[in-house]
Amino acid sequence: MRYNKKEAGNTLIEEWKQIIAVILFDIILTVFILLYGNINMFKLVNQGLQLHQLDPVIALISNFGVIVLIAGGVLIFTLDYKYKSIGALTLMFIGVWMAVFLGYSLKTYFDVLRPYYQIPHTRTLIYTSPDLGGSFPSSHALISFFIWTIIAVKAKKYSIPAFIAAALISFSRIYVGVHYPLDVTVGILIGIALGVSLLSIELIAKRLNKTGQNSLTIRNKTKLNINFNIYKFNRKTDYI
């Protein structure tokens, strides 16, 4: 079967169209925040949107949502027979480790103070240790949307629930007063970019492996045909 690059490219876009849509929406949202003002948007969410009855729930989501999302990914790739995959599970764990390292490195490099240190009257439902780094970017958003990216490609059935969970976790970081909106939207972009990068590396590795196997098969068939032709020639010479 001949490999069709155009057809493969169209299939890839079809498979990843959810990811492309979320990237475009996040870029538009980032531009809007830049135009409206990062601090103004923070105040609108943190101080303007006060859902006091839901404060404990949102604080729980902010603190433990990422852990629950990671656990959900583990359950999907270990228990659901349709999506059970050691490869996907390994990819997810490698990516989470990379996301934690990348998030901490960027926080240390930019060293942006968290909103409750800079903006008066910030509603702060949780506090974070200064040892965890600065505000930019949001590691919670980064990790959450990395996991969503893996699930969106590897287990499409759970894509929407995983997206809702990742979006709630990301939003909660602004609501509880520990991140600016730009911290979150940039974290989302980095998380998706990390997921797409790892998935692309995996895809390229699989195609190279498949190409190598096909080449080996062709060589074996060619060798077999040559041997068969030699055998037929020898048989003919025996009759002569």
Domain ranges of the chain: 17-211
Q: What is the pLDDT of residue 210?
A: 65
Q: Quickly list DSSP for 83-144.
A: T--HHHHHHHHHHHHHHHHHHHHHHHHH-PPPHHHHSTT---S----GGG--SSS-HHHHHH
Residue 133 and residue 118: Cα distance in Å, rounded? 16
Q: What is the pLDDT of residue 192?
A: 96
Residue 135 and residue 106: Cα distance in Å, rounded? 10
Residue 177 and residue 171: Cα distance in Å, rounded? 10
Q: What is the pLDDT of residue 19?
A: 93
Residue stretches of the chain with pLDDT short of 50: 1-11, 216, 228, 231, 233
90: phi then psi, degrees, rounded to nearest 5: -65, -45
